[in-house]
Amino acid sequence: MNMSRHLFSVFILSFLWLAVAGEDVLDLSNNDLDGFKAEVAKYDTVLIEFFAPWCGHCKRLAPEYAKAATALLANDPPVPLAKVDCTSDNGKEICSTFGVSGYPTLKIFKGGEFASEYNGPREADGIVKYMRSQVGPASKAYTSFSSLNDKLKAAKEVFVVGIFNKESDALATKFHKNADRMRESINFGHIYSSSASDDISALSVLSASKVSAPAVVLVRPSTLSNKFEESSVVWDESGSLENWINSNYHGLVGHRTQSNMQDFKPPLVVVYYDVDYVKNPKGTNYWRNRVLKVAQNYPKIKFAIANSNQFAGEMEEFGLEPDRSGREAAPVVAARDAEGKKYIQKEKFSIENLEAFVKDFTSGKLQPYLKSEEIPEDNSGPVKVAVGKNFDELVTKSEKDVLVEFYAPWCGHCKKLAPTFEDLGKALKDESGVEIVKMDATANDVPSTFEVHGFPTIYWYPKGTKVPEKYNGGRELDDFISFIAKHATDELTGYTRDGKKKKEEL
């Protein structure tokens, strides 16, 4: 009896926790179609998730959606997030009316009407940034320097500010054009001194920049403040404003997340640890400041910090695992060069070790990290087995034409192709100028010159040009033979150029 009461209490507490966690998401599932339309019409802009309770993707989205809902309620203006359970009695009609065929489906409504499909990120920060860009003008107007100052002090993200004498300033025109183009990823604000209720001296956040109108200033949030770089940067009006914003946005060491990772192009050094600017900004900056001390000396290299749990999959590509011993856990470091090759810092994290690692990385002294199985002891079969360690020998540096298959052990199409590929190897085993090769792309690094997004992926790699050509032909034995016979650098000894078997001489 006590155990039953305990389990019931746990259930109630769990239910209440879930309710609180998602309390800022409007649940419109109980409205009939007319009620749904009336409710949505109350808001200028609203994002609605159409979901099913049993849907795994919906369950993964739920906590991120709830966090985004809370953040967007504090936006100016607020942007509500809502949801509709498509399996409920009323929800079925609503979802059918708006053409929902998969879960979760997210749609943006404006003025009570469907406006567009949501094509943004599926994590909290990305949802917030995307939806902020959907409301109001691209740049928020301020009528006093003091209110703008308050906004900049409270900002959690980079803010680009235009300070102009009047609306007709040439720089103001350029600023607003760029704000319209970049509104989905950047926060913009502006003020005209001629109509402001106070003086620019009230803009104390920018005092160190000595700003005077007209000017465009990029202001980093206080959480990223450090002694190695200015918290605000004034545009010198040379080159493209968009390029200037992009190159200065993340500063010396950026905070890399799932929603902005495309901003960080190699050569790149990433330091992974328990990055958390919400719960532990002080601890986060403790390590970031050490990275900054090194980064200031290498302006041609991009540096970033990243949460080791959020990027556990990426770390696995480098053979690294997150240190889960708590907030005091030391960071781990990985790098990628412009060619896509990977490197890891083997020594324990310290400023001195990071400095040495980056110095060797930039001078080309490091040995790239290669994810690889062991080379097979016996590789004499008709289809040669490539792994990371022997790929160059068998493929890229081979003096033969190579047909190489990238496969996954769990892939059904790969399993179906396997006996045909084996027969192909046997059919061409006496051809000295051709090699048939296969590689498990889940257990070995695939060179960046070969794009593999699905399985099986097959490439033809001729010895003359050494440029991979994706094979898109048929997958029967005769299809492969015909292709190779036609494209081989040197004519096959056993087949004519049109793929017919040559008659043996008596």
Task: Judge whether 414 counts as a catalytic residue.
Answer: yes
Catalytic residue among 411, 418, 446, 477: 411
The long-range contacts involving 63-68, CB below 8 angstroms and separated by at least 24 positions, are 63/21, 64/122, 64/123, 64/124, 64/127, 65/22, 65/25, 65/124, 65/127, 66/21, 66/22, 66/23, 66/24, 66/25, 67/124, 68/124, 68/125, 68/127, 68/128, 68/131
Buried b / exposed e across 187-199, counting CB within 10 Å, b at 16+? bbbbbbbeebeee
Residue 338 one-letter amino acid: A
Residue 296 CB: number of other CB atoms within 10 A? 14
Separation CA 48–CA 79 (nearest Å): 11
Which distant-in-sequence residues (6+ apart) come within 8 Å of 232 by Cβ?
205, 206, 208, 209, 211, 217, 218, 219, 220
Task: Judge whether 86 counts as a catalytic residue.
Answer: no
User: Are the C-beta atoms of residues 41 and 112 closer than 8 Å to each other?
Assistant: yes
CA distances in angstroms from 207 to 56, 187, 230, 437, listed in the order given: 50, 21, 11, 64
Catalytic residue among 414, 428, 437, 439: 414
Task: Judge whether 55 counts as a catalytic residue.
Answer: yes
Half-sphere exposure of 113 (CA within 13 A, CB side): 2
Name the residue among 217, 254, 223, 210 with its Cα closest to residue 235: 217
The long-range contacts involving 55-59, CB below 8 angstroms and separated by at least 24 positions, are 55/103, 55/104, 57/103, 57/104, 58/103, 58/104
Separation CA 458–CA 421 (nearest Å): 11
Separation CA 289–CA 232 (nearest Å): 17
Catalytic residue among 21, 55, 312, 344: 55
Beta bridge partners of 369: 342
Catalytic residue among 25, 28, 47, 58: 58
- How is the beta sheet containing 113-117 ordered, strand by strand? 25-27, 81-85, 45-51, 105-110, 113-117
User: Are the C-beta atoms of residues 437 and 402 closer than 8 Å to each other?
Assistant: yes
Separation CA 398–CA 157 (nearest Å): 51
Residues assigned a catalytic role? 55, 58, 411, 414
